[in-house]
Amino acid sequence: MHARCGSADRRGGLNKDHSNIIKEPPIYFVRNRNGPFLSFLLGLLSLDGLFFKFRLNMFKKYPVCLLLLLIMILSGCATWISDVERASSVKLEQPVSGSLQNPIIDSNITLSEALKKYAPPELKAKQGLVELLYYSFDGKIHQGQLLIDKRLIKDIREVFGIALESKFPIASVIPISSSRFLKDGKWNDDNQSMLANNTSAFNYRKVTGGKSLSRHAYGFAIDINPVQNPYIKGGIVLPPNAVYDIRKLGTLSSDSSVVKSFIRLGWTWGGNWKSLKDYQHFEKVISN
């Protein structure tokens, strides 16, 4: 019956004899006349090796001690559970998409990517890439990027701050050199950007229907929401089929806080021009 005590195990050693090891009795086998829960508790507290060695006679003599102990244990458990639940809820909470803390990203490119479209190096060197927050037409806050002359960034930040505060919707703000505006492998002036109702600034190109360089070629101009604010000259409307209606959201007018802010900062609005109307266009020329 004891033959296995000294037999070799599979690794060639001897099985260890555990008969001399004193094992603690399972706490759920403590037996007395005090009920299962009290038996469990008293058995737990009477085990050797614990910090406190209470005995059954002590609890019978001082029942208040037992009551206080139970209250302490239960309150401690409740506090621990509350802390765990609180930590879990904090960990699970995420900023709402389309909020100031978690805006929807419309553009996230590098300066070199924003300057990928051809332009003379001396003009490229004067441009800065600024990140901007704005309400879009989905009612959520988006984050885009604008490439513009570095000296105009302060003005742009101020105007976009006012637009955000007044919840003036802007469809998107993405540099013209983004790959999404390519057509047949090249950039076609700003037609693709206008069709996408995109707001942009620096763009090395000529004026519409002319031979001289546009203010955009220097980073001195910005076009906002082209679909709501088209370029109109005679029968030419850009983007095609766009309609100017000040009752529509995102449309610029003389009463718009965006227009007033630009004018206050010394910009010119194309909506005030006489020979043509370029409602999307603002410009401010800075001497070198």
Structural domain containing residue 56? 19-86
| 68 lies in the same domain as 118 | no
Q: Are residues 219 and 245 in the same domain?
A: yes
Domain contains 200: yes
Domain ends where: 36, 55, 86? 86
Question: Looking at 200-214, 254-268, 273-287, which range is the least confident one?
Answer: 200-214
pTM: 0.69
**Side chain identity at 268, as an amino acid letter?**
T
| 8-12, 184-188, 244-248: the lowest-pLDDT one | 8-12
Would 10 be classed as within a structural domain? Answer: no
User: Mean pLDDT, to the nearest integer, of 110-121?
Assistant: 95
Q: Is 211 found in the same domain as 139?
A: yes
Q: Is residue 28 part of a domain?
A: yes
Same domain, 109 and 53: no
Whether residue 130 lies inside any domain: the answer is: yes
Same-domain status, 134 and 108: yes
Residue 58 has pLDDT above 50, yes or no: yes
Q: Write out the two tokens for 138.
A: 């989905």
User: Model confidence at 30, in pLDDT bands (50, 70, 90)?
Assistant: very low
Cβ distance 142 to 134 under 8 Å? yes
Structure token digits, residue 92: 């699970």
Q: Are residues 143 and 72 in the same domain?
A: no
Count how many domains the chain has. Answer: 2
CA-wise closest residue to 107 among 164, 176, 154: 176
